[in-house]
Chains A and B, each alone.
Chain A
Amino acid sequence: MLRGLKKLGAQISLYALVLLFVAFAVFPFYWMTVSTFKRNEDLFHVATDPAHNPYLFNLPPTLEHLTQLFFETRYVTFVLNTLFVGVLVVGITLLISVPGGYSLARLSGQWGEKLGIGIFLTYLVPPTLLFIPLARLIALLGLQDTLWSLVLIYPTFTIPFCTWLMMGFFKSIPKDLEEQALVDGCSRLGAVIKTVLPLAVPGLLTVVIFSFTLVMQEFVYALTFILSVGKMTISLGVPIALVLDVYRWGPLMAATLISSIPVAILYNLFLDRFIAGFTGGAVKG
């Protein structure tokens, strides 16, 4: 009886604790949602009025901020720009890091692992250390204020992480499969394409999702290279140039909400593989 109560108490405090953390984590997202659907008169009610509870809808909800976002701002342009850069960066990343990861896992012998770690470490070199020389380089190439500058530079952080991810992924596929295909007379490349690549599809998808979310999140390079509003990506354009008005929070929060949630859902699907990438060898099994 007493043990049962104690267990119940532990269960309740566990839930309370988790709930507290969840509340902290989701509060800004909750607030984005509330702000997206509130009428302006409700949203911009001064915070000294104790009778006006900002957590509730004091007036019926509205879609006015969403229509404003899509029809009166450049949000759709930002989305299209982000998609353009994202698709190209994902393509470049796949083309370069999938063969690279395979090479490190299977063909490079002893130094493969070391080289892999070396490549991974370059992921640590932050944009904030590189944006000044890269601004110089982009100017030299005549790419300033073009989306191509982002297409060229973003792979510098997607390739290291994805090559490392793919290396781990290829290592987890048994070697026998390719060897069997080789014995059956396939060429090395043919063997890889026929036997390994189909098994590596989850790994490839991880690379796609991860690269795309990194593109979605990047701010510093975009701020440095892009000047015209028409060339901005979501993460730059929404905070910098979406609505230049004091009472702009409705469409702004609508934009942050619609831009964050799809990325979050995609990322969550592949979470375990990202963790494996970050923890590398520090976790066994």
Chain B
Amino acid sequence: MATIAREAHKIRWRYLLDRERVLGSLLISPAIGYIVLLVGVPLLLAIYLSFTNAISGHLEADFVGLKNFRTIVSDPIFLQALQNTFIFTFVSQLIVVILAKILALALVKSFPGRPLARFLILLPWVAPISLTTLAWDWVLGASNSSLSVINWTLRAVGVLGPTDWIYWTAFPSSAMAAIILIHVWRMLPFATIILLAGLTSIPQEIHDAATVDGAGFWRRLFEITLPLMLPIVAVAVLFGIIFTATDMTVVYILTRGGPYNSTHVLASLAWQRGIFGGQLGEGAAIAIFLLPLLVIVAFLMLRLARRTEVV
């Protein structure tokens, strides 16, 4: 009797397995198809276009080898954009990680009003960035500095003299500071929420055991919390790098790359040349410089995933 049941069970399972393979690939193929056709193929097309003299409006294009790359690397605006991409990303992410760590340590404690605080802190990440950059434009007075609430406040507290102004987007340095400020403002909630998830996942017993053994706050912070948090900090930073380095919305809305093309990033310059200027080949060549960064980040993420035993 038992043998028959086992046999029946086996047959049923083999039958199921066979069908599972078929059904499994059937169900996943639309997703793979969409991604291959509209992400994979365009990615290759981007690389191909960077070696051509394609312009918008004409579908035929000639292969021109490295000409686009030679043009852009001798272009000071491109070099500035490359440098800006690194500066904006590095500086804003550095500030974000430090502030997010502090904020996450504060928010991990439960206190009355914490859900509200969490909601409010999250707003910058959730609201559409093109709209909030516009709001920052108005707050800073980038387009109307004589009406800026920040200028009024700085004057009221005595930082600015009666005749001083900050023209945020009129000078390269203040324009860059404004762009970094917006990136920090926007990415801080994201990093905080991820770090918070990491903090709450550290079992309380570890802390308790260390406290019993005589470890103080700082020792627990440096020898337990930070090492255990490292993978999660890495996740936050890697996403942060991608989102910041590839963003063109902040620059486009706030400065359009100005003054004098001093605040362009790779993405905004690629748009300027490729779409606005119609030089698809050159635009593609500029955008391609983002690719190594992506490859490195993807590689690090996979390693991270493996170390934490996901794969």
Of the listed residues B109, B130, B141, B189, the one surrounded by the most CB atoms of chain A closer than 10 A to its CB is B130
Nearest to A28 among chain B residues (CB) is: B135
B28, B155, B232 interface centre (most CB from chain A within 10 Å): B28
The count of residues in chain A whose C-beta lies closer than 8 Å to any C-beta of chain B is 106
Within 8 A of B (CB), among A159-188: 159-160, 163, 182, 188
A139 near B148 with CB under 8 A, answer: no
Chain A residues whose CB sits within 8 angstroms of the CB of B46 once the complex forms: 129-130, 132-133
Interface flag for A58 (CB, 8 Å): no
Question: Out of B121, B134, B301, which one reaches A25, CB within 8 Å?
Answer: B121
Given contacts A47-B149, A282-B235, contact A132 B128 (CB under 8 A): no
- How far apart are A18's CB and chain B's nearest CB, in angstroms? 5
A102, A155, A220, A271: most-surrounded residue (chain B CB, <10 A): A220
A236 contacts chain B at the CB level, 8 A cutoff: yes
CA distance A131 to B268 in the complex (A): 11
Question: Cβ of B247 and Cβ of A128 under 8 Å apart?
Answer: yes
Residue of A nearest to B152 (CB): A47
B311 touches A117 (CB 8 A): yes
Q: Is A146 an interface residue, CB under 8 A from the partner?
A: no
| A223→B252 contact, CB < 8 A | yes
Interchain CB contact (< 8 A) of A134 among B23, B42, B162: B42
Query: Given that A117-B311, A219-B129 are known contacts, is A22 also in contact with B117, CB under 8 Å in the complex?
Result: yes
Asked whether any CB of chain B lies closer than 8 Å to the CB of A136, the reply is yes
A78 to chain B, nearest CB (A): 11
Interface residue tally of chain B, by bracket? 35 or more
Interface residues of B in 99-140 (CB under 8 A from A): 99, 102-103, 106-107, 109, 111, 117-124, 126-136, 138-139
Instruction: Assess whether B39 is interfacial by the CB under 8 Å rule.
Output: yes
Residue in chain B with minimal CB distance to A52: B152
B198: interface (CB < 8 Å): yes
What residues of chain B lie closer than 8 Å to A159, measured between beta carbons? 31, 34-35
Chain B residue numbers with a CB within 8 Å of A234 are 128, 131
**Residues of chain B contacted by A95 (CB below 8 angstroms):** 30
Secondary structure of the B contact surface, majority rule: helix
CB neighbours (8 Å) of B96 from chain A are none
Complex contacts, B198 vs chain A, CB 8 Å: 279, 282-283
Query: Are B30 and A100 in contact, with the CB atoms below 8 A?
Result: yes
Contact flags B266-295 to A (C-beta < 8 A → 1, else 0):
110011001100001001100110110010
A193 shortest CB reach to chain B, Å: 13
Contact residues in B for A281 (Cβ distance below 8 Å): 305, 308-310
Contact between chains at A103 and B24 (CB < 8 Å): yes
Q: Mark A222-261, 1 if CB is under 8 A from B, else 0.
A: 0110000000001110110000001001001101100110
A1 within 8 A of B: no
Partner of B311, one of A99, A113, A279: A113
B302 at the A interface (CB under 8 A): yes
Residues of chain A within 8 A of B26, CB atoms compared: 103
The reply to whether B304 and A239 contact each other, CB–CB distance below 8 Å, is no
Is B232 a contact of A256 with CB atoms below 8 Å?
A: no
Q: How far is the CA of A18 from the CA of B138 in the complex (A)?
A: 25
B242 and A126 within 8 A (CB): yes
One digit per residue, 1 when the CB lies within 8 angstroms of any chain B CB and 0 when it does not, for chain A 203-227 equals: 0000000000100110110011000
* Count of A-B contacts judged by CB separation below 8 Å: 322
Cβ–Cβ < 8 Å partners of A106 in chain B: 20, 24
Which of B45, B135, B294 is within 8 Å of A31, CB to CB?
B135
Chain B residue at smallest Cβ distance from A82: B128
A278 in contact (CB, < 8 A) = yes
Interface string of B32-71 (1 = CB under 8 A from A): 1011001110110110010000101001000000000000
Asked if A280 contacts B42 (CB within 8 A), the reply is no
Q: What residues of A have a CB within 8 angstroms of the CB of B248 in the complex? A: 128, 220
Q: Mark A262-285, 1 if CB is under 8 A from B, else 0.
A: 011001100100011011111111
Report yes or no: A282 in contact with B231, Cβ–Cβ below 8 A. Answer: yes
Determine the chain A residues whose CB is within 8 A of the CB of B188 once the complex forms.
21, 24-25
Q: Are A18 and B194 in contact (CB under 8 A)?
A: no
Of residues A21, A22, A96, which shows the largest number of chain B Cβ atoms within 10 Å of its Cβ? A21
Given the complex, which residues of B lie within 8 Å of A114, measured CB to CB?
311
Interface CB pairs A-B, < 8 A, 14: A31-B135, A47-B141, A100-B30, A100-B32, A117-B311, A126-B242, A135-B275, A139-B59, A159-B31, A159-B35, A249-B144, A256-B127, A264-B127, A275-B194
New contact pairs (14) apart from A124-B294, A223-B271, A284-B308, CB-CB < 8 Å: A25-B188, A47-B155, A100-B30, A103-B27, A106-B24, A129-B290, A129-B294, A136-B45, A188-B20, A223-B252, A256-B134, A279-B232, A279-B235, A281-B309
